[in-house]
Amino acid sequence: MTNNTTDKDFDQPLEADQRNLALLVYILQGLGFVTGGLTWIAAMMINYIKLDSVRDTWLESHFRWQLNTFWYGLLWWIVGLVLWLLLLGWLVWGLLSLWALYRIVRGALLLNDNKPILF
């Protein structure tokens, strides 16, 4: 009796787990709008902890997309905070919210279609 399993058979559950992690991060990012950003920190931690496990896979683009969304979002959040002194912070934060929502939805849709994100 021979065993016809290949390495690819073992990779599929791992890829599904990694895909679920990417989906979890998108969900945590989305929840950040109602938790005051607290879940964004948890999402970032997941990204950094699991980044090596998705290196050189199509899911790496999603992890990098999520990390870029966090760091650029934090930068513009700080800019908006400073601009509140000039009464323009609301505009920056409004645009930032739209931008972050777009990135979360676009990333989640591409993840659902099993496609990488092209920067």
Write the pLDDT tens digit of every residue in 26-74.
999 999 999 988 999 999 999 999 999 999 999 999 999 999 999 999 9
Return the residue matching tokens 């939805």.
Answer: 105
The model carries a pTM of 0.79
Reported as half-sphere exposure (CB side, CA atoms, 13 A), residue 42 has a value of 15
**Domain residue ranges of the chain, discontinuous segments joined by +:** 7-112
Q: In 3D, which of 89, 65, 86 has the Cα closest to residue 77?
A: 89
Q: Is 2 left (phi over 0), alpha (psi -120 to 50) or beta?
A: beta
